[in-house]
Amino acid sequence: MAKVGIVMGSDSDMPVMAKAADILEELGISYEMRIISAHREPDAFFEYAKSAEEKGFKVIIAGAGMAAHLPGMCAAIFPMPVIGIPMHTTSLGGRDSLYSIVQMPSGIPVATVAIGGGLNAGLLAAKILATSDEELLERLKAYSRKLAMQVEQKDARLGEIGCHAYMADKK
C-alpha cells in the first residue's frame, strides 16, 4: 500500500516530481504517482483526493504551476499533510505558482518547498513519516551522513588541487 501520493497537473511537471519519487525510492517509501488536472478533470481530481486516505496515503506531494490550485485543493479535501511544489513558469519564473500554493487561507495549510523543489518535497514527506517509523528515521540519518561525507570529500579535493583546477574539473 502506497504511503505517499504524488500528483501533478501536467506531464511537463514530471522532471521535478520524479525527484520526489527518486528520494522516496532511495529511502524505501512506497508511493503512487498520478497526472490529474484539478481544472480540466475536476471529478477525477475530487475522487483522487477523497479516496487518498482510504488508499493509505499519509502524505500527498502535489506539484502545480501557474494558478497552482492542485496542492491547496488536495489540502482542502485530504485530512493529512500536503506538500506543494511550485513549478517554474516561463511568464513569472514560478513566483505565480509559489504565491498560489503558499498563500492558503487559515485552516487549510500546505507545506511548500522551493520552486522546482522535488527532492526536498520527497525528503519532507519522509521526515513526516519518520515521526512514527524508527527504521525510516535511521535511513534518513544515514542519508544526512552521506550528504555530509560528500561535502567533506569535495572540501578535501579542493584542498588538494586548488580552486582553479577544481573548477576545471567541474566543466
Domain boundaries, the chain: 4-132, 134-171
Per DSSP, the three-state class of 65 is coil
Nine cell digits for residue 20: 520526489
Predicted confidence at residue 67, as pLDDT, reads 84
Region for 6 from its dihedrals, namely left if φ exceeds 0, alpha if ψ lies in -120 to 50, beta otherwise: beta
Predicted confidence at residue 61, as pLDDT, reads 98
pLDDT digits (tens, 9 = 90+) for 8-35: 999 999 999 999 999 999 999 999 999 9
Stretches in the chain below the pLDDT threshold 50 = none
Predicted confidence at residue 2, as pLDDT, reads 81
Cβ-count burial 99-119 (b if 16+ within 10 Å, e if not): ebbbebeeeeebbbbebbbbb
In 3-state terms the chain splits into helix, strand, coil percentages (rounded to 5) of: 55, 15, 30
Enclosing H/E stretch for 159:
helix 134-170
pTM of the model: 0.94
Predicted confidence at residue 116, as pLDDT, reads 97
Look up residue 54 and give its DSSP letter.
T
Distance CA 139, CA 80 (A): 23
Q: Give domain 4-132's CATH number out of 3.40.50.720, 3.40.50.1970, 3.40.50.300, 3.60.15.10.
A: 3.40.50.1970
